[in-house]
A and B are shown apart, each in its own frame.
Chain A
Amino acid sequence: MQVAVLPRSSIGKKALMAVTGAVWIGYLVLHMWGNLHIFQGAESFNHYAEFLRTVGEPVFSHAQVLWLIRIVIVAALAAHIWSAWDLYLQAQRARSTNYAVKRVVQANYASRFMRIGGVVIILFVLFHLAHYTWGWVTPFDRADPYRNVVIGFSSPVIVLFYLLALAALGLHLFHGVWSMFQTLGLNSRRFDGFFRGLAVFVALVIPIGFATVPLAVLFGILS
């Protein structure tokens, strides 16, 4: 009998998804909190952007911590996507014939939206990188992040796309946060209400926190 069932079983892949998802939730909280510095004004926000490169000095040299975080989140995202894809293929094989009539009894919309929602989020992440890291979409000046944000969100179409992506993120988090505890075996009837509540909290706070910035630009609060 072999020992290491975990890496090959669907449960191991799910556990990997749970852990990498948790890494991303941690990153999103930091990113969202950092974004809110924009409401303290251009100088404070640009100073915060510079801090992201100087953080950890002199132990770490310029932008080293930033790159460490980038490597961790890209690796986590890659593992998350690989697991999801592998589990999707396994599910396709297991249910190779579909029903002529199929009704959903209790599964909520968020839980059935996970795979499509994940694709929406990946597409958004790519656009977001092109928008604010590489500066391909709107006029971009690396030295003035505040101005980049204001110009970047001057188009209602871009703002709408951000809001849609955040809605997809909210749904993904609503099922994902609860699912994380279930997958890691930490859930039980006693704690179910707490984890469901936590999922609602996270699924609201993160997207709303992010949405304040594009909305503030769109309504002229930031200029």
Chain B
Amino acid sequence: MRLKLRIWRQKNAGAEGKFVDYNLDGVSEDSSFLEMLDLLNGHLIDRNEEPVHFDHDCREGICGMCGMVINGIAHGPKAAITTCQLHMREFKDGDSITIEPWRAQPFPVMKDLIVDRTAFDRIIESGGYISVNTGQAPDASVIAVPKTQADRAMDAAACIGCGACVAACPNGSAMLFTSAKLAHLNSLPQGQTERFDRAVLMVNQMDAEGFGGCTNIGECEAVCPKEISLDFIAMMNLDLLRANVMGKGKR
């Protein structure tokens, strides 16, 4: 395959970025999108040029490191996959592909296609945990968890924190991410003790990071590689409203 690539190049967080065009020949349609970029980088290194920097780790669609906006869609044209699971057979010979980093104020570009997503880490730190006593491992199945709740918690816990929801949202909102992290713990018996404090603390941190609000348009859900549902946003909203009625969030 022959491709015309238009890639965002930015030297560092402080530098002005710009799009650079590359022609790439000999791309196998069986290669993944990241392998296609590896091929390009091989040519760039041969020519003594700076390779295109992008985040990646497992390349199995489970770690959440990779992610870029491909032709206007976070993680590319195929639903429910990460960028590393996108294959070149989704494109045609001679296609033009525009590749941009996630765009959001709380996700500053560090270099080329790499953005700083530590804002997500700080949201987790603010309340994405449960307090338990350490010591001997408890016996299995001591706490009964109904199947429906276990399933819901698992659906929420599937979030890999890639940031595609923020990238796809015209408001730069992190509601899908934050609500998934909340719903994961708030659905389980172990999470009930701190449930409403958690809602307040994590929403507080989310707002402090500078993410936008939710307009319920659902673009986040559409691009999410783990198909996290908007239901969790509704659950977070209700928990926050209840937490405020109860005066929760104090530590």
Contacts and interface: CB of A to CB of B under 8 A. Distances in A.
B72 A182 contact: no
Contact of B233 (A98, A102, A175, A182): A182
A4 B244 contact: yes
Given A1-B249, A5-B240, A11-B213, A99 B171 contact: no
Contacts of B233: 182
Contacts of B234: 181-183, 185-188
B71 A105 contact: no
Contacts, number: 164
A94 B211 contact: yes
Interface residues of B, number: 56
Nearest to A10: B213
B100 A90 contact: no
B188 interface: no
**Interface residue range, chain A:** 35 or more
A40 interface: no
Contacts of B55: none
A101 B214 contact: no
A5 B249 contact: yes
B70 to A, nearest CB: 9
A87 B98 CA distance: 30
Given A90-B212, A94-B210, A11 B217 contact: no
B216 interface: yes
B90 interface: no
Given A93-B105, A97-B103, A107 B219 contact: yes
Given A91-B213, A185-B238, A99 B72 contact: yes
Nearest to B237: A185
A112 interface: yes
Interface string A1-32: 11111101111111100000000000000000
* Interchain residue pairs A-B with the least CB separation, the first 6: A185-B238, A10-B213, A94-B172, A94-B212, A91-B171, A103-B72
Contacts of A105: 73, 79, 168, 219, 222-223
A96 B170 CA distance: 10
Contacts of B201: 1
A30 B180 CA distance: 40
Interface in B203-235: 203-204, 207, 210-219, 221-223, 229-231, 233-235
Nearest to B8: A100
B213 A184 contact: no
Contact of A95 (B171, B221, B239): B171
A2 B249 contact: yes
Q: Is the interface of A mostly helix, strand, loop or mixed?
A: loop
B236 A185 contact: yes
A14 B105 contact: no
A115 to B, nearest CB: 9
B207 A103 contact: no
A6 B4 CA distance: 48
Contacts of A99: 69, 72, 100, 103
A10 B201 CA distance: 14
Contact of A183 (B72, B200, B216, B244): B216
A114 interface: yes
Interface in B75-120: 79, 98, 100, 103-106
B5 to A, nearest CB: 13
B250 interface: yes
Contact of A101 (B100, B223, B229): B100
Contacts of B98: 100-101
Nearest to A92: B212
Interface string B116-154: 000000000000000000000000000000000000000
B235 A185 contact: yes
B45 interface: no
Interface in A127-173: none
Residue with the greatest number of chain A CB neighbours at <10 A, chosen from B204, B213, B221: B213
B112 to A, nearest CB: 15
B157 to A, nearest CB: 17
Residue with the greatest number of chain A CB neighbours at <10 A, chosen from B73, B171, B218, B223: B171
B210 A100 contact: no
A103 B73 contact: yes
B63 interface: no
A87 B175 CA distance: 14
